[in-house]
Structure 1
């Protein structure tokens, strides 16, 4: 049998590991961690072998499908897009599980932790491998459930329980939009088939959906005097789901609070699972987005705004993990921007966005795991209490500096020399320049450059405050165990060289996702349906444009060094609650006050409470009115109950006489 025949095992093995670990882990060493580690390692090997096979022949995708019921199916799709995601998720998850054996060694609920992380990984792998939108949505919901369980893993802490509920409820807003998009899509496809679905046709499979794109584009409905294109509506609803899962503005508010879970969970959520699901959804349905008028514009603009918006908050956070959380939101904005500029560069957008997603997974997992090592060793994640940690944790410091350089995008433009983040992020920024030059507007490009500057400032602020200078408290500290430093070293090597080694092949390989034996899409024709005009001169950007991301990255490093390393600027006057700008950023633009305290509590909660009281009082009044009517009627009728037989006889005779007279009158009239 070919290795592709075992593709179904990729999500199945971690799912089985969840069951075994949950029931047997309590009796095994390290909470039964060996079970998910072996399962995920096997899934990684299968994923890697399938990816290598597709690299040799990208057209021969794996598609296995069985009928579920009626016109729906369960199926597996492994094409270039899915293959690189499967390989990344299994690899990063495997390293995080190995690291967790040391990090979680003193936790009494290890078995529950490893069971839940195994299910989390299985859910994400199931999402990636789905060949239809409904199956993807079911896995999408399982990913949300697992994130709720893991963010609230230490549920005894009120902050953790609150953060878990906040994540679950916030992402549900996006999930409702995603589900609404599926419902609209199903209704439109059902109408196109006139309700008669041929045998063997599963209308929610991606190949069937893509085949109907021209017909879907032609469908529109008047709403408030405007013609709403159905495909635009569907894709924007899908994007709404991605906004929730991938932390785009304004549904990003759950992501920083998700830091209440174990740091390893943060690494899993922010690097390999959960937040990448939204980016993957837009990439998977890219043919729909590029054929839908205005949809890619919305993706590009919101992605660029999210990148700069989150970066502004990252520069004032003092919590190690919160700085990295806002960094994740910002980088997810870059990934969405990379997909949005497909309005100018076509299917290449999928390649550059996914390339940054993969590189980001390596250096962001490394950043979180390094932060976890620091927290595990010194007992605090407040950077103001640290300083000089590099002296006691040299391996952690060295690997985290590599990750910081990758995040800041340091390299030499025009070459493949540079850290992984440089190779992938710069491609997105250059595509944003083409987007502006091609008539899409300069707003995304300008914001992407500004976000690159702030990214460099906040990550090197973290480095200088944490690892250099003199210790600001007697925190002690020691280097992490080998079970933790070995995964750090592996991720550091990937953050250092993966981008340079794979850039020439990666983008082309992933961009071939929509030209194979499963689907064969003419992206240029679809772009014309969407009203987009693809650029014909990509790769001819001015020299300054090529150097600009590196210039601002180095500038950010120098600013952070002068301010937090050399301390040439007295930050006491700037870092003050009397400074309105600092106060605004530190309070995160008062999002919690606006979204949680005002909208959630005042508008939604109290609004529903008021409506509930009004309805309750209405029911009370109705019930009281019916009761009073019944009592009054009973009182009136009681006077006829005299108990005298003669009275009853007289009433019966009178009634019968009136009935006879009435019948006679009616017969005369008729």
Structure 2
């Protein structure tokens, strides 16, 4: 049987592993870890086999579909875009599960942990496979639910419980926007068809949606005095969902706090799975974004700003995992920026962004797992208490250094020699330069190159503070077991060579995803002008490496050679340091001011006055009725003569009234 016929097993096997591990895990060694490991390994084999087939024949797309209800379906779509995501997610998830056997060995709740990670992996694989936007949204929500369970895995810790709620509620804002976009999209397509639905057509399938793009562009609404295309509204709402899931400003605030979960959860969420879902959503619906006037400009600007904004906070964090969390937000900003560059480079933007997404998954998962290895061995993740760890953990030190070089982007410009991050991040920065020259907007490029400098500075600050010098506390320490170091070494190899081995083929493979669409015509609908590029000045090609080397040298001089007394800078009296260390007071602004003061207290005040108003109405009405009753009761004397006199008087008045009316008319 051809592997493509088994595609439905890719998400189904981890889902089945969730059920089995949840109920049988306590009776099996290592909390039943073997069940999800075997299930995800099979999913990985199927994914890699299908990807290999697509590499040989990119046009042979795998599609499977069954009727769900009404005009909706459950379906599978594995094209080049989905294939690379499936392969990466299943492979990295498999390594993280193997690593977790050693990392979680002393945790009494191992069965629950491996059950939840299996559910998380199944949801993400289901999201990638979806051939329609509604099914993708269902899996999208399931990813959010399972991430809530994993972030709050140690629910007995107040910080973990709070972080889980924060992640769930923050991402819900984006999810509501995403759902609103789906509703608006369906309503518009239904209106275009005038309620006449074609037989055998599922309207929310991506291929069907793309057919209606010109009609959607033509539908406009007036908002704040401006004519706005409905396609722009739909794509901005979709992007709102991506902002929440992929940690873009301002819905990024949940992501650093998600470090309260186990480090393996951080690697799973922040490297290969949840945080890339938003980027994948934009990539999957990219033809809509390309045809939507103005949307890609918003995407590019927000992505560039997020890359720089998060990097500024990464340089002052002292927690190993928190530094990497801000690094994740920054790198996601680069991926979103890469997609926004589609305004000038078209479908190539998807290839550039997805190439960085895949490379980032390898070296960021490696960084988190190395951090977990350090925490597992020494018992702390405060870099101020470490130093000299490289002497007792040489494998962890070597692999984390390789990941740091990949993140910082070291390589030789103009060649395929370099670490994976260099080969995927530099094209985004160069694309930002092309964006600047063609649109006149230099902000994305300046933000991107500045973020590249800060990236090198904060990651080598982490390396020097943690692994070099003398120990700053009596932490002991030892190298992690082979169940942890083998996944580290495997990811280290990919961080070093994957980019060089796949660079050209990867871009061509992803771009073939849109060969059946006229991307130039879509760009014209969006008001974008695609032009040739690839002849950037030599200084532009070398600038990312120059700033990366500058960041490395400055980190070496400050945190290894101690040529600068940082106590003068790292002080609560330094307003810049204080601003960065307090994360621009985002918690105070979003939680204490906006959520508590404005929303909660505003609702409480409104509730108080509404209760007062209701009390006044109820009490006033009852008082009026009681007093009216008391007054009317006085007429009930019980004397027959009084009632007869009242009847005579009433009849007399009625006769007089009728007489007057007849005379008038």
- Fold similarity call, TM over 0.5: yes
Q: Distance in 2 between matches of 1:655 and 1:40?
A: 91
Q: Distance in 1 between matches of 2:223 and 2:470?
A: 64
Q: Distance in 2 between matches of 1:663 and 1:29?
A: 99
Shift of 1:27: 2.1
Q: Aligned to 1:532, what secondary structure does the other structure show? A: coil
Matched, 1:604 2:599: yes
Shift of 1:493: 0.6
**What pairs with 1:459-474 in structure 2 (closer than 5 Å)?**
459-474=459-474
The one-character-per-residue Cα deviations of 1:452-510 (angstroms, maximum 9, x if unpaired) are: 11000000000000000000000011111111111111100110111111112001101
Cα distance change of structure 1 residues 111 and 655 upon mapping to structure 2, 3 Å threshold: farther
Shift of 1:659: 6.8
Cα distance change of structure 1 residues 664 and 12 upon mapping to structure 2, 3 Å threshold: farther
Q: Which residue of 2 aligns with 1:208?
A: 208
Higher deviation after alignment, 115-124 or 378-387: 115-124
Shift of 1:637: 2.3
Matched, 1:188 2:188: yes
**What pairs with 1:631-642 in structure 2 (closer than 5 Å)?**
631-642=626-637
Shift of 1:564: 0.6
Q: Distance in 2 between matches of 1:40 and 1:617?
A: 59
**What pairs with 1:414-453 in structure 2 (closer than 5 Å)?**
414-453=414-453
Higher deviation after alignment, 15-24 or 639-648: 639-648
Shift of 1:116: 1.0
* 1:152–1:161 contact (8 Å) kept in structure 2: yes
Matched, 1:593 2:588: yes
Matched, 1:529 2:549: no
* 1:259–1:325 contact (8 Å) kept in structure 2: yes
The one-character-per-residue Cα deviations of 1:279-313 (angstroms, maximum 9, x if unpaired) are: 00110110011111111111111111111110011
The one-character-per-residue Cα deviations of 1:97-126 (angstroms, maximum 9, x if unpaired) are: 111111111111111111111111111111
Cα distance change of structure 1 residues 644 and 347 upon mapping to structure 2, 3 Å threshold: same
Q: Aligned to 1:328, what secondary structure does the other structure show? A: helix
**What pairs with 1:7-46 in structure 2 (closer than 5 Å)?**
7-46=7-46
The one-character-per-residue Cα deviations of 1:422-444 (angstroms, maximum 9, x if unpaired) are: 11011111111111122251111
Cα distance change of structure 1 residues 667 and 50 upon mapping to structure 2, 3 Å threshold: farther
Q: Which residue of 2 aligns with 1:564?
A: 559
**What pairs with 1:326-337 in structure 2 (closer than 5 Å)?**
326-337=326-337
Gaps of 5+ in 1: none
Shift of 1:647: 4.6
**What pairs with 1:541-560 in structure 2 (closer than 5 Å)?**
541-560=536-555
Q: Which residue of 2 aligns with 1:356?
A: 356
Q: Which residue of 1 aligns with 2:123?
A: 123
Shift of 1:136: 0.9
Shift of 1:39: 1.0
Matched, 1:62 2:62: yes
* 1:434–1:535 contact (8 Å) kept in structure 2: no
Cα distance change of structure 1 residues 51 and 667 upon mapping to structure 2, 3 Å threshold: farther
Q: Aligned to 2:567, what secondary structure does the other structure show? A: coil
**TM, length-normalised to structure 2:** 0.97
Q: Aligned to 1:572, what secondary structure does the other structure show? A: helix
Matched, 1:616 2:611: yes
The one-character-per-residue Cα deviations of 1:541-563 (angstroms, maximum 9, x if unpaired) are: 12211111111111111111111
The one-character-per-residue Cα deviations of 1:117-147 (angstroms, maximum 9, x if unpaired) are: 1111111111111111111111111111111
Q: Aligned to 2:66, what secondary structure does the other structure show? A: strand
Q: Which residue of 1 aligns with 2:244?
A: 244
The one-character-per-residue Cα deviations of 1:210-260 (angstroms, maximum 9, x if unpaired) are: 011111111111223211111111111111111111011111111101101
Shift of 1:664: 8.8
Q: Distance in 2 between matches of 1:493 and 1:304?
A: 29
Q: Distance in 1 between matches of 2:545 and 2:146?
A: 38
Q: Aligned to 2:74, what secondary structure does the other structure show? A: strand
**What pairs with 1:245-324 in structure 2 (closer than 5 Å)?**
245-324=245-324
Q: Which residue of 2 aligns with 1:199?
A: 199
RMSD of equivalent CA atoms: 1.7
Matched, 1:540 2:535: yes
Q: Distance in 1 between matches of 2:59 and 2:401?
A: 40
Shift of 1:658: 6.6
Shift of 1:361: 0.3
Q: Distance in 2 between matches of 1:111 and 1:306?
A: 37
Q: Aligned to 1:511, what secondary structure does the other structure show? A: helix
Shift of 1:46: 0.8
* 1:297–1:440 contact (8 Å) kept in structure 2: no
Matched, 1:85 2:85: yes
Q: Which residue of 1 aligns with 2:151?
A: 151
Q: Distance in 1 between matches of 2:90 and 2:45?
A: 9
Shift of 1:2: 2.3
Q: Distance in 2 between matches of 1:614 and 1:104?
A: 53
Q: Distance in 2 between matches of 1:613 and 1:225?
A: 36
Q: Aligned to 2:68, what secondary structure does the other structure show? A: strand
Q: Distance in 2 between matches of 1:398 and 1:33?
A: 28
